[in-house]
């Protein structure tokens, strides 16, 4: 542990040997060196290295000389380093009360990690963490049960101790995003939407629907609904399924600025599962989802989006969209959320590292009795949602 040096002493018998004219200069140099000595160890405390880093914050165990607990990423995240993944990096380290070492170095830390994190889609059953009764194994997945892979299904039902997912009943809740309420006198004015800002953005929209799709065949059947909807309203289509390219972020932002609505159809319909597509609403467009039920319990205002299941048919939905186009004040109501919530995402939902560090520090033993039941059966998903919707 870095120890703060004691107060420097200036000895008279040394000073007397110096030319008195040089003394102020020497004293200045000494002070500068002292300041650098104090600051350098902390210069990069907030820099996150994807292979190894220590969460350098004020720990509640600051007086404890023991090494900080180790949180080990056992798998990659789709071939990338686990801690390169933005969801696991976006957090405010200065507000975390715990101190841990986060690493992807299995060779070095496999036998003394407190927690190992396994991404469900990248589990290799031939390369698993050592069996240790004190080791907490974390099941991590950002996708729905339909897209969680099959590797974890080969593991014993009680293999995992903790879960990280988009579901509220996970040990660590990790949605793609969430609303952050405006706090008077606290929220930065730059993070608050101004009414004229919203209105000016809306005035620039000249087109109707926009979608970006790369998965052309989904369990929800969204592509079938889009096919029917195109009969009644024009849809600007980008992505692998259409062949039209708009790959740069700037291109997507420009297209969103032109369009009134954004098709944020889910690839699968599961309770509390929503994707990053929905959060394009931060760019001031109105997202259209398939199911209102799937967003239940996520504290998302009901008037911030449009749900397909609220309409009897694609034709009825199209009529509603044209009604909003021809009645700007009605369309503006879908942006009421801008009066209550900030422009920026809620960073509190991205403090996964701090929550993992807390669990590693406290060492509380937990167990998911049956990961298969918890994730697959209790996930509450609906097969062929669009087929059922179109038949009603």
Helix (H) / strand (E) containing 390 = helix 385-391
The pLDDT value recorded for residue 53 is 46
Query: What gap in Å lies between CA 343 and CA 179, rounded to an integer?
Result: 9
Identify whether 87 is part of a domain: yes
Query: What gap in Å lies between CA 340 and CA 147, rounded to an integer?
Result: 34
The pair of structure tokens assigned to 69 is 């607990």
**Closest CA relative to residue 90, chosen from 341, 348, 356:** 348
Q: Are residues 268 and 147 in the same domain?
A: no
CATH number, domain at 339?
3.40.50.11660
The pLDDT value recorded for residue 41 is 39
The residue behind tokens 């841990």 is 100
Identify whether 388 is part of a domain: no
The pLDDT value recorded for residue 196 is 96
The pair of structure tokens assigned to 1 is 């542990």
Query: What gap in Å lies between CA 258 and CA 145, rounded to an integer?
Result: 34
Identify whether 33 is part of a domain: no
Q: Are residues 161 and 264 in the same domain?
A: no
User: What stretches in the chain show pLDDT beneath 50?
Assistant: 1-20, 37-63
The pLDDT value recorded for residue 379 is 63
Q: Are residues 355 and 340 in the same domain?
A: no
Identify whether 197 is part of a domain: yes
Beta strand residue intervals within the chain, DSSP E: 52-54, 70-73, 101-103, 115-119, 136-140, 162-165, 172-173, 207-212, 235-238, 259-263, 269-270, 286-289, 306-307, 381-382
List phi, psi (to 5°) of 52: -165, 130
Q: Are residues 284 and 193 in the same domain?
A: yes
The pLDDT value recorded for residue 244 is 84
The pLDDT value recorded for residue 27 is 64
Half-sphere exposure of 320 (CA within 13 A, CB side): 16
Q: Are residues 331 and 199 in the same domain?
A: yes
**Closest CA relative to residue 223, chosen from 214, 149, 146, 148:** 214
> 193-227, pLDDT tens digit by residue?
999 999 999 999 999 999 998 888 888 989 999 99
The pLDDT value recorded for residue 325 is 97
Q: Are residues 367 and 231 in the same domain?
A: no
Query: What gap in Å lies between CA 276 and CA 209, rounded to an integer?
Result: 17
Cα dist from 66 to 1, 4, 69, 106, 132, whole Å: 9, 18, 9, 21, 21
Identify whether 35 is part of a domain: no
Q: Are residues 236 and 326 in the same domain?
A: yes
Q: Which domain holds residue 213?
A: 189-344
Strand order in the sheet with 136-140: 52-54, 101-103, 70-73, 115-119, 136-140, 162-165, 172-173
Identify whether 18 is part of a domain: no
Identify whether 44 is part of a domain: no
The last residue of one of the domains, among 323, 344, 365, is 344
Q: Are residues 226 and 314 in the same domain?
A: yes
Q: Are residues 196 and 225 in the same domain?
A: yes
Q: Are residues 316 and 358 in the same domain?
A: no
Identify whether 76 is part of a domain: yes
Q: Are residues 370 and 304 in the same domain?
A: no
The pTM of this model reads: 0.79
Q: Are residues 200 and 236 in the same domain?
A: yes
What is the total count of domains within the chain? 2
Query: What gap in Å lies between CA 300 and CA 322, rounded to an integer?
Result: 24
């Amino acid at each position: 542990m870095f120890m703060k040096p004691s107060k420097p002493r200036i000895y008279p018998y040394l000073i007397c040997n110096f030319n008195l004219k040089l003394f102020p200069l020497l004293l200045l140099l000494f002070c500068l060196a002292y300041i650098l000595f104090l600051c350098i160890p902390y210069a990069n405390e907030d820099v996150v290295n994807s292979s190894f880093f220590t969460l350098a914050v004020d720990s509640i165990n600051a007086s404890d000389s023991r090494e900080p607990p180790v949180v080990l990423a056992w798998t990659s995240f789709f071939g990338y380093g686990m801690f390169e993944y933005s969801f696991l990096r976006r957090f405010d380290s200065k507000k975390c009360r715990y101190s841990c070492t986060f690493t992807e170095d299995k060779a070095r830390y496999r036998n003394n990690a407190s927690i190992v994190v396994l991404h469900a889609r990248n589990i290799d059953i031939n390369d698993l963490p050592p069996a240790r009764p004190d080791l907490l194994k974390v099941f991590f997945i950002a996708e729905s049960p339909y897209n969680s892979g099959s590797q974890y299904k080969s593991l014993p039902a009680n293999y995992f101790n903790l879960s990280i997912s988009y579901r509220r009943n996970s040990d660590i809740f990790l949605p793609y995003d969430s609303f952050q309420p405006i706090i008077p006198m606290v929220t930065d004015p730059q993070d608050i939407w101004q009414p004229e800002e919203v209105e000016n953005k809306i005035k620039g929209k000249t087109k109707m629907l926009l979608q970006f799709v790369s998965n052309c065949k989904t369990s929800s059947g969204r592509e079938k609904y889009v096919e029917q909807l195109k009969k009644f309203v024009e849809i600007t289509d980008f992505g692998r399924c259409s062949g039209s390219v708009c790959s740069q972020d700037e291109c997507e932002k420009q297209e969103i600025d032109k369009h009134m609505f954004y098709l944020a159809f889910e690839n699968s319909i599961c309770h509390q599962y929503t994707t990053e597509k929905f959060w394009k609403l931060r760019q001031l467009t109105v997202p259209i989802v398939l199911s209102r039920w799937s967003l239940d319990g996520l504290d998302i205002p009901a008037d911030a989006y449009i749900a397909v299941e609220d309409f009897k048919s694609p034709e009825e939905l199209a009529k509603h969209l044209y009604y909003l186009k021809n009645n700007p004040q009605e369309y503006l109501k879908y942006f009421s959320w801008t009066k209550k919530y900030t422009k920026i995402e809620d960073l509190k939902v991205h403090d996964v590292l701090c929550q993992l560090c807390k669990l590693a520090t406290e060492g509380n033993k937990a167990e998911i009795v049956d990961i298969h039941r918890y994730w697959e059966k209790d996930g509450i998903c609906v097969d062929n949602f669009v087929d059922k919707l179109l038949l009603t």
